[in-house]
Amino acid sequence: MTSEIIEDWLNSFDKSMRVKKRKIIIFIDNCSAHNNLPALINVSVKFFPANTTSELQPMDQGKIRSFKVNYRRQAVRKLVDAIDEGSTLSKIDVLNSMKMTGYAWRNVSQKIAKNFFKKLDSRMYEKRRK
């Protein structure tokens, strides 16, 4: 996310809300790209409190954890392969890092999302019981 992207999107969204004669509020996180938001007429932007994004978006926790595990697995595999070959570990360059990132992201499973919804459903059930 960049400040230009969010600014363009908000301006466009504000314009569409004006056309529809709707006033809305949007809650967003405290990403540094959100620092210089444009003046809007029909859209009001409010920020989540600091350090609450992971609590408010718990599915992100599982996806991020899974991504990190997959990326680290690739880094360790690169180290082990170098040791097995009897060579010194070469530094991970940008290209290797990009390849490892792609692999890590592709291997974040759909099971992560399913588990999140199961946990959410059980939390809602517990709240209803109380």
Tell me, yes or no, whether 19 and 58 share the same domain. Answer: no
The predicted-structure confidence for 40-81, as pLDDT tens digits, reads as follows 999 999 887 777 666 666 656 677 888 899 999 998 988 888
Q: Give the pTM.
A: 0.48
Q: Which residues contact 51 (CB under 8 A, 6 or more apart)?
A: none
What is the model's pLDDT at position 40?
Answer: 94
User: First vs last Cα of the chain: how many Å apart?
Assistant: 40
Tell me, yes or no, whether 5 and 64 share the same domain. Answer: no
The mean-pLDDT minimum among 17-26, 73-82, 116-125 falls in 116-125
Q: Which amino acid is at 49?
A: P
Tell me, yes or no, whether 27 and 78 share the same domain. Answer: no
Q: Are 12 and 43 in contact (CB under 8 A)?
A: no
pLDDT higher at 49 or 19: 19
pLDDT surpassing 60 at residue 127: no
Tell me, yes or no, whether 80 and 113 share the same domain. Answer: yes
Number of domains in the chain: 2
Tell me, yes or no, whether 76 and 38 share the same domain. Answer: no
- Domain region containing 20: 1-47
Nearest in space to 93 (alpha carbons), one of 101, 81, 85? 101
Tell me, yes or no, whether 99 and 58 share the same domain. Answer: yes
Helix ranges restricted to H, 20-109: 53-56, 58-85, 94-106
Tell me, yes or no, whether 58 and 27 share the same domain. Answer: no
Tell me, yes or no, whether 4 and 33 share the same domain. Answer: yes
Tell me, yes or no, whether 36 and 75 share the same domain. Answer: no
